[in-house]
A and B are shown apart, each in its own frame.
Chain A
Amino acid sequence: MIRHGAAWLFLAPAMVILGVFFLLPVIAALFLSLTDYDLYALADIHNLRFIALNNYIELLHRPLFWSALGHTLYFVAVGVPLSMLVSLGAALLLNSPLARCKPFFRTALFAPVVTTVVAVAVVWRYLFNTKYGLINVALSWVGIHPVDWLGDPHWAMPAIILFAVWKNFGYNMIIFLAGLQAIPVELYEAARIDGASFWQQFRHITLPMLGPTLLMVGILTVSGYFQLFAEPYVMTEGGPLESTTSVLYMMYDEGFKWWNMGSASAIAFLLFIIMFVVTVLMLRLGRRGEEA
């Protein structure tokens, strides 16, 4: 009994903070999403109406919601595999016995993660500039015409993806590196003695041993990428032609531009449901992969 009491005592600060700063706001937001809290309700709380699921129904009838969801899925479907490939590639290079100056490269490749998104977005806006940007200069060397990266609705999302991948891959790279270092060297030695090529070693030792790490990184990256907001906010403001408006960006507009907190909260919960379903599916797939 006393031991339980002590445990709760030690847990209390964390539980209180989680309760006050996480659980309580979530419950409040869930309640908000069932009301039409807006500017009029802010002026006088008597103007607040309980409208049950109307916010959700209305959202599902709005074309903008579906297009925002489409842009978000595009970002996740292209961004997550790309980001994981780059992270894994960088981790493999760093883990290679041939690599020199490992601590330096490890720090250098991790650096983008700890920079502030707004500051580097300014730099990337220069890089993406149609006339003077280094990216278009590099493309012109191989004879590709300048691309209006941030002004063309077709290129704005790829530009955002490039920026986001560069900004985030370092974090996953460190996790992969830890996973790679945990693989016993004996396995590779045995494989080499059996005459396995590099590719065979990667396919039959590295990948299976990294399985759980891959799944975890995949889930973390997917849930992070679903919450796309800061990148389009600072790079394109959701444009051009709303081509980079993500679900979270729409929530921000709805909540803070039009001050419809009720419908903004409903967007947040819809996004939560979508992310929850995707995560469960990924876990299922992961488990089936383990059994196989």
Chain B
Amino acid sequence: MMSLWALAMACVMASLLMGCTHRVDPNTLTFWTFGREGEAITQLLPQFERENPNIHVVLQQLPLSAAHQKLLTAFAGDSIPDMTQLGNTWMPEFVTLNALEPLQTRVAQSAVVKPSDYFTSIWNTNVYDGRLYGVPWYVDTRLLFYRNDLLKQAGFDTPPHDWAQWRRMLAATSHPDRGVYGILLPTNEYEQLMSLALQQPDPLLRDGGRYGNFESQGFKRALAFYVDTFRLHEAPDITNVEAGNPWSEFGSGVYDFYFSGPWNIGEFRKRLPASEQDDWNTAPLPGPDGPGASVAGGSSLVVFRNSTHKDAAWKLIEYLSRPAVQEQLYALLGDMPPRRSSWEGGNLHDDPKASAFREQLEDVKPTPPVPEWERIANEMQLVAAEAAAGELTVDQAAVEMDRRTDRILEKRRWILDHNQVAIGGRR
């Protein structure tokens, strides 16, 4: 009973306090950041506050694993910040909620944010129905890390350009009897299969995001390539939990290829000894016939519609979009900038391991712009893992993925058919 009383008192007190302090200081800008970015940005903000002494930024750092639900809960509870960083797979949800402030008029008047300077696909992940809802902050994509010394030993001088070549390299470098495999594809990560699937001409969802399109020829081709890698024992059938420490295993030659993102440049530099640093490099993703696309990931900076400090928020977005500041962020974290001009100077320009990313970023494709996508991708991977383990054929797996996806999208279909309100729909 004591605790109930305490709870009741706390509620009364809280409502009284809310009544008094509902209007916050007009110069205080609340900004939510996640994970590693949250730590690094503390070093970028002092300069901004020196330039804008009348704006005080209140930073809230959320762990990445809790960020998504905190944002949604804050929206439901009407306690959303002025601005936040937002992963571009989460953006469809907040566009659906009508929570974000359109930014195209501000961009049109801006001397700093120049749309033509941004990687086109990355910029377009922020545009829904012709309206811009965010400014890209950093980019993320997946490509190949490879051991050039081991490939050379196997008789290959360059990394693969297409799947056929890639398959030959995987075959030549896999010795499952010795526990050596061509590549590590953790069966509980969906990004790898999704990247291969995005290279196909067929979209992943059809009819405006109403149904799954996993039974398309294109997807089945990607799934078959993925599943064959396991059936031919060119990748071990394990999850990233069982894989343990992939960095040292890549270093010791257990895997010749590693399919991952930009942050691993830093990890490999940190974890592998200096003598091994010349033995690895990065390469754009090989496609079915020649160089292929990869996934357009990353985070944008967004302003919430209910914010009362939109001008101040926009000033901070412009500051963080300066090429010099983006280069600083790369130096701090290895987060790759979304602007071409940010790649011109400093560390990035001369970094041989980053150049493959620069090349890949010109050829990236966004994930389907529906709020349900992350859940669909999770289900896709669960089924793909069963196929990789040999429990389903490629055709059966594709049917099962479509079945699960269509069930998840049932609500979306109902809304699209009953309301004339446009939901999602990226252009």
Give residues in A with beta carbon < 8 Å to B.
Answer: 13-14, 17-18, 21, 36, 38-40, 42-44, 46-47, 49, 151, 153, 237, 239-241, 256-259
Contact = CB atoms under 8 A, between A and B. Distances in A.
Interface stretch (B72-80, B252-260, B292-300): B72-80
Given A21-B8, A46-B419, A240 B239 contact: yes
Given A153-B241, A240-B239, A259-B72, 5 more contacts: A14-B1, A151-B242, A239-B241, A256-B69, A258-B375
Nearest to B410: A36
Contact of B96 (A13, A43, A239): A43
Contacts of A40: 96, 371, 411-412, 415, 423
A160 B382 CA distance: 25
Nearest to B240: A240
B96 to A, nearest CB: 5
A270 to B, nearest CB: 19
Contact of B97 (A17, A39, A49): A39
Given A21-B4, A42-B76, A46-B419, A237 B241 contact: no
A240 B1 CA distance: 38
B407 to A, nearest CB: 8
Contacts of B242: 151, 240
Interface residues of B, number: 30
A43 to B, nearest CB: 5
24 contacts: A13-B8, A17-B4, A17-B8, A18-B4, A21-B7, A38-B411, A39-B96, A40-B412, A40-B415, A42-B75, A44-B419, A47-B415, A47-B419, A151-B242, A151-B244, A239-B241, A240-B241, A240-B242, A241-B188, A241-B239, A241-B241, A256-B69, A256-B72, A259-B72
Most chain B beta-carbon neighbours within 10 Å: one of A13, A256, A258:
A258
A14 B4 contact: yes
Contacts of A13: 8
A151 B241 CA distance: 6
The 6 closest A-B pairs by CB, nearest first: A240-B241, A256-B69, A43-B97, A17-B8, A151-B241, A17-B4
B415 A237 contact: no
Nearest to A63: B382
B341 interface: no
B420 interface: no
A172 to B, nearest CB: 19
B362 interface: no
A38 B419 CA distance: 16
Interface in B383-411: 411
Nearest to A253: B69
A13 B414 CA distance: 45
Best-surrounded residue of B7, B68, B241, B419 (most CB of chain A within 10 A): B241
Interface in B49-69: 65, 68-69
B98 interface: yes
Contacts of A239: 241
B67 to A, nearest CB: 11
A13 B419 CA distance: 45
B8 A43 contact: no
B93 interface: yes
A38 B239 CA distance: 31
Contacts of B7: 17, 21
A44 B72 CA distance: 14
Nearest to A261: B76
A243 to B, nearest CB: 10
A44 B418 CA distance: 13
Interface in B1-27: 1, 4-5, 7-8
A239 B186 CA distance: 15
A39 B423 CA distance: 12
A18 B7 CA distance: 11
A239 B8 CA distance: 36
A42 B98 CA distance: 10
A239 B240 CA distance: 11
Contacts of B98: 43
Interface in B181-204: 188
Nearest to A43: B97
Contacts of B8: 13, 17, 21
A240 B243 CA distance: 12
Given A49-B414, A257-B69, A39 B4 contact: no
Contacts of B97: 39, 42-43
A44 B99 CA distance: 12
A277 to B, nearest CB: 27
A36 B412 CA distance: 12
B66 to A, nearest CB: 9
A257 B93 CA distance: 12
Nearest to B378: A258
